Structure 1
Amino acid sequence: MSELVIEQFMCRSDNFGVLVHDPDTGLTAAIDAPDGQPILDALDRKGWKLSHVFLTHHHADHTAGLPALHDRFQPRLIGPKRSMEKVSGIDLPVSQGNVIEWSGRDINVLETPGHTLDHVSYWFSDDKIVFAGDTLFALGCGRVFEGDYAMMWESLEKLGALPDATRLYCGHEYTLANARFALSVDPDNAKLKARAEEVARLRRDDLPTLPSTIGLERQTNPFLRADEADLKQAIGMPDASAESVFGFLRDAKDKA
């Protein structure tokens, strides 16, 4: 089994477009569809034909490109069962615990609601890759629009429990702003300081900050560390529950 080839590029103002290509079978999947033309351009550049789209949630900046992709390639659309009333054309609706066979690989569906109620993430367990959409970001997490803090924290715990070596891809290039907030609440974290410097260097050079890894996020992302004593102490909430700490952090980030 050859290693998957992942092509990552910018769409819209700060969305990531991602293509996943299996050189053995020739199958190519898009993770979400923020904008049709950049995805079509990337496919043409690589000489790939789009066979599938894995949809994480219904927001327009993740679905706007679907019509253009369908017109050109008619890819099989895999998406959350809870998205079916909001997104037309889902061929395979999925929910928690489903395992999709794609190109000889097992793709595990994780329901990760909070940002939206329909949000799912896709864990390519054979390849140690997770596509987390807008639930987990590098050094951050998505705003809680449709769910509640308890729901979002549970989703982050689910992603944080994946193996440390799991590569993380997410929906937006928000890492520089996330690093500034993370340092404001966790200023004595040496690993975070080093990472923030690296993020700043990458963005100065107009380079992407992704992929990350689950292990790195567990060490440096305050939203994944809401259950850890060091972070609780740093924000003056030593005896608070992880859910309460997460809620405090999310409120503070929303106001930052």
Structure 2
Amino acid sequence: MTMALDIVTVPCLNDNYAYLVKAPDGVCIIDAPEAAPIIAAAEARGWEPGVLMITHHHHDHVGGLDALKSRFGLMTMGPAAEKARLPPLDHYLNPGDTGGDGPAHTIAMEVGGHTLGHMAFHFDQAGAVFTADSLMAFGCGRVFEGTYDQMFDSLRKLAALPPDTMVYSGHEYTAANAKFALTIEPQNEALISRVEAVKAARAANRPTAQVRLSEELDTNPFLRSHVPQVAENLGMQGVSPAEVFAEIRRRKDAF
């Protein structure tokens, strides 16, 4: 799949990522952990973002909103389901809402669990999805507001996207997630190989929270609760994938 977007990963705060996404018809920002690094990244490229898309209400994803809007005059948008907990936005999105044309065509996906109204933004024509704290590299967000079943269903939606889709998540948690993933599938050769690649990337201070979905399907335990070997490793043969997922999430919470 051809990527007709220019995507810039912007490190923010301690371990957050925002993204600048340039398409033929303009530039948007995905999430606003803090303003200064995002403004610097845009100005360094001579880009003038026109839209800010918020995935969920947590402060480390909205903290820079006012300063970004002041600097760029952005149109701001985010999930309608979290309107009461978000800063005031210009436009509120419902699941399935679409916007943009060509490579900028975007579908708002409901991926609740971490928060009740968490959204992901799927640029379906360009093969990219911005998942923030839902699907993460080797992991998924902690289930703060939703239920395990809700998060399981959200991850199933994301797992059903084309496998060559690039996943852009919201935090640099990959190395820690990798250690946990090895406790679930220590015999997974694809996982072992990818963990070594992540170690090398992090040693070189390269971001690793941006990964092809096909790799996640092969190595992320939260997307593999249906795999018989995973259930066997947990002593949960014959148990539903949703229950296996819940057990993996509980183990990660205590890891």
Corresponding residue for 2:230?
231
Amino acid across the alignment from 1:5: D
Corresponding residue for 1:214?
213
Corresponding residue for 1:116?
115
Corresponding residue for 1:79?
78
Corresponding residue for 2:144?
145
1:89 deviates by 2.8
Residues 111-162 of structure 1 deviation map (CA, whole Å, 9 limit, x = unaligned): 0000000101011000000000100100000000000100000000000000
1:252 deviates by 0.6
Residues 16-56 of structure 1 deviation map (CA, whole Å, 9 limit, x = unaligned): 1210012x33x111100000111111111111111001110
Range with greater deviation from structure 2 (156-165 or 204-213) = 204-213
Residues 163-212 of structure 1 deviation map (CA, whole Å, 9 limit, x = unaligned): 00000000000000000000011000000000000011111111111320
CA RMSD in angstroms, aligned pairs only: 1.4
Distance 2:43 2:230 in 1: 46
Corresponding residue for 2:33?
34
Against the structure 1 CA distance between its residues 46 and 240, is the aligned structure 2 distance closer, same or farther, given a 3 Å change threshold?
A: same
Corresponding residue for 1:11?
12
Range with greater deviation from structure 2 (181-190 or 210-219) = 210-219
Q: TM-score, normalised by structure 1?
A: 0.96
In structure 2, the gaps of 5 or more residues are none
Amino acid across the alignment from 2:44: R
SS in 2 for 1:93: strand
Distance 1:49 1:128 in 2: 23
Distance 2:221 2:53 in 1: 28
Distance 2:165 2:3 in 1: 17
SS in 2 for 1:187: coil
Distance 2:9 2:124 in 1: 20
Distance 1:184 1:124 in 2: 33
Contact 2:6/2:21, CA 8 A, preserved across alignment: yes
Range with greater deviation from structure 2 (136-145 or 87-96) = 87-96
Distance 1:133 1:91 in 2: 21
Range with greater deviation from structure 2 (79-88 or 59-68) = 79-88
1:87 deviates by 1.6
SS in 1 for 2:157: helix
1:2 deviates by 8.1
Corresponding residue for 2:126?
127
Contact 2:20/2:27, CA 8 A, preserved across alignment: yes
Residues 52-86 of structure 1 deviation map (CA, whole Å, 9 limit, x = unaligned): 01110000000000010011112111210012112
Range with greater deviation from structure 2 (181-190 or 227-236) = 227-236
> Segments of 4+ in structure 1 off by > 6 A?
none
Amino acid across the alignment from 1:19: L
Amino acid across the alignment from 1:105: A
Contact 2:3/2:126, CA 8 A, preserved across alignment: no
Identity of aligned residues (%): 39
In structure 1, the gaps of 5 or more residues are none
Amino acid across the alignment from 2:63: A
Number of aligned residues: 254
